[in-house]
Structure 1
Amino acid sequence: MPELSQRTGMPVSEVKVKGRWRQLSLLGGTMLVDSTEASLVSSLFPLIRQSLGVSLGALGVLTAAGKVAGAFTGPLWVWAAQRWSRKSVLVVATGLWGVWGVAAGFSQNFGQLLVLYTVLAAGYAAAHPIITELIGDLFGGSSRGRAVGVVYGAVSLVSAGIGPLKGQLAGVDDGWRWGLWGIGAFNILLGIGLWVWFRDPGRGAAEEQLADLDRATRDAHSKLTRDKVLSLLGIRSLVVLLISRLMSGHLLVGTFGVVFLVDVYGFSTQKASIVLLPFGVGYFLGTLLGGVAADWAHRRSPRHGLVAVLQAAQFVFALVAYFGTQFDYGSIALFGVFFALMGATQGVNPSVNRPMVMAITPPELRGAAFAVYVSVFEAIAWAGFSLGAGFLGDAVGLRTVFLWVLVLLMLANGVFLTLLYRPYADDVARVQRELHARREAALLVRG
Structure 2
Amino acid sequence: MPVGLIALALGGFGIGLTEFVIAGLLPQVAADFGVSEASAGWFISGYALAVVVGALGLTAAVTRFQRKPVLAALLVLFIAGNLLSATAEGYWPMMLGRVIAALSHGAFFGIGAVVAAGMVPPSKKAGAIALMFTGLTAANVLGVPFGTLLGQAAGWRATFWAITAIGVAALAGILALVPKSAGAAEQAGSLRSELRAFRSGQVWLSIVVTILGYGGMFGAFTYIAYTLTEVSGFAVSTVPWLLIVFGVGLFVGNTLGGKAADRNVDRTLLVVLAALTAVLVAFALAAANPVLTVISLVLMGGFGFATVPGLQMRVMRYASGAPTLASGANIGAFNVGNALGAWLGGVTITAGLGYTSPIWAGAVITLAGLAVMAFAAAGAKRSEKQHKLVAASTDMPGLVRS
What is the TM-score normalised by the length of structure 1? 0.79
Counterparts of 1:197 and 1:279, CA distance in 2: 30
What is the SS of the residue equivalent to 1:397? Answer: coil
Q: Distance in 1 between matches of 2:274 and 2:266?
A: 13
Judge which range, 322-331 or 310-319, deviates more.
Answer: 322-331
Pick closer, same or farther for the CA change 1:427–1:64 going to 2, 3 Å.
Answer: farther
Distance verdict in 2 for CA 1:193–1:154, change over 3 Å = closer
Cα offset, 1:170, TM superposition: 4.8
**1:236 aligns with one of 195, 198, 201:** 201
**In the alignment, which residue of structure 2 is the partner of 1:93?**
74
Amino acid at match of 1:234: R
> Which residue in the other structure is 1:316 paired with?
275
Match of 2:395 in 1: none
Structure 2 distance, partners of 1:202, 1:423, is: 34
Q: In structure 1, how many angstroms separate the alpha carbons of the residues matched to 2:9 and 2:233? A: 35
> Structure 1 residues 315 and 143, CA, compared in 2 at 3 Å: closer, same or farther?
same
Residue aligning to 1:15: none
1:380 aligns with 2:339: no
Which 4+ runs in 1 deviate beyond 6 A?
426-431
Q: Who is 2:132 aligned against?
A: 151
Give the corresponding residue for 1:412: 368
**Which one of the candidate residues 310, 316, 324 is aligned to 1:358?**
316
Q: Which residue of 2 aligns with 1:16?
A: none
Letter paired with 2:293: F
- Kindly indicate whether the alpha-carbon contact (under 8 Å) linking 1:78 and 1:368 is maintained by their aligned counterparts in 2: yes
Pairing partner for 1:274 from 241, 247, 254: 241
Counterpart residue number, 2:189: 222
Partner of 1:401: 358
Please state whether the residue corresponding to 2:275 is helix, strand or coil: helix
Call closer, same or farther: CA 1:326–1:273 in 2, change over 3 Å.
farther
1:137, 1:178 → 2: CA distance? 37
Within 2, Cα distance between the matches of 1:245 and 1:197? 30
SS at match of 2:89: coil
The answer as to whether partners of 1:261 and 1:272 remain within 8 angstroms in 2 is yes
CA drift of 1:265 comes to: 3.4
Alignment match of 1:198 (pick from 178, 186, 206): 178
Compute the displacement of 1:329 (Å): 4.2
Q: Where do 5+ consecutive residues of structure 1 fail to align?
A: 1-19, 204-214, 298-304, 432-447
Q: Contact 2:261–2:268 (CA<8 Å) still a contact in 1?
A: yes
Q: Secondary structure at the match of 2:3?
A: helix
| CA deviation vs aligned residue, 1:357-411 (integer Å, no higher than 9, x gap) | 2222234x21100122222x333222222123223312222312321x2223322
Query: 2:156 aligns to what?
Result: 176
Equivalent AA in structure 2 for residue 256 of structure 1: Y
Residues 145 and 294 in structure 1, CA contact (< 8 A), matched pair in contact too: yes
Q: 1:352 to 1:171 in 2, by over 3 A?
A: closer
Tell me which of 39, 52, 56 is aligned to 2:20: 39
Cα distance in structure 2, aligned partners of 1:53 and 1:223 = 47
Mapped partners of 2:147, 2:172: distance in 1: 25
Deviation per residue, 1:418-446 (Å, 9 max, x gap): 22234436878999xxxxxxxxxxxxxxx
Query: 5+ residue gaps in structure 2?
Result: 388-402
Alpha carbons of structure 1 residues 318 and 99: separation in structure 2 relative to 1, 3 Å: same
> What whole-Å deviation, never above 9, does each CA across 1:13-34 have from its counterpart, x for those lacking one?
xxxxxxx520111101100111
1:83 aligned residue: 64
Percent of aligned positions that are identical: 17
The answer to whether the aligner puts 1:371 opposite 2:328 as a matched pair is yes
The residue number in structure 1 matching 2:143 is 162
Between the aligned partners of 2:151 and 2:97, the Cα distance in structure 1 is 22
Alpha-carbon distance in 1 for matches of 2:110, 2:26: 27
- Farther-moved stretch of structure 1 (186-195 vs 276-285): 186-195
| Residue identity opposite 1:180 in structure 2 | F
1:63 aligns with 2:41: no
Distance 1:62 1:422 in 2: 38
**Aligned residue pairs: how many?**
384
Mapped partners of 1:345, 1:321: distance in 2: 10
Q: Deviations over 1:258-299 (max 9, x none)?
A: 23323433433321232211111111111221122222x3xx
CA contact (8 A) 2:15 2:78 kept: no
| Counterpart residue type for residue 103 of structure 1 | L
Name 2:297's counterpart in structure 1.
339
User: What is the rounded CA distance, in whole Å, between the counterparts of 2:331 and 2:191 in structure 1?
Assistant: 18
Q: In structure 1, what is the equivalent of residue 250 of structure 2? A: 283
**Once the 2 structures are TM-superposed, how far is the Cα of residue 117 of structure 1 from its aligned partner?**
1.4
Distance verdict in 2 for CA 1:372–1:158, change over 3 Å: closer
The answer to whether the 8 Å contact 1:37/1:184 transfers is no
| Matched letter for residue 202 of structure 2 | S
2:82–2:161 contact (8 Å) kept in structure 1: yes
Q: Distance in 1 between matches of 2:304 and 2:288?
A: 22
Once structures 1 and 2 are overlaid, which stretch shifts more, 148-157 or 316-325?
Answer: 148-157
Distance 1:261 1:28, change over 3 A: same
- The letter of the residue matching 2:172 is I
User: Who is 1:264 aligned against?
Assistant: 231
Structure 2 SS opposite 1:54: coil
* Partner SS state of residue 62, structure 2: helix
Aligned equivalents of 1:326, 1:342: Cα separation in 2: 14
Higher helix proportion: 2
Q: Which residue of 1 aligns with 2:212?
A: 247
Provide closer, same or farther for how the CA distance between residues 230 and 87 of structure 1 changes in structure 2, counting only shifts above 3 A. closer
Find 2:94's aligned residue among 113, 116, 119.
113
Asked if 2 retains the 8 angstrom alpha-carbon contact of 1:46 and 1:269, the reply is no
SS class of match (2:319):
coil
For 1:317, the aligned partner's letter is L
Alignment-derived partner of residue 73 in structure 1: 54
**RMSD of Structure 2 on Structure 1 (CA):** 2.6
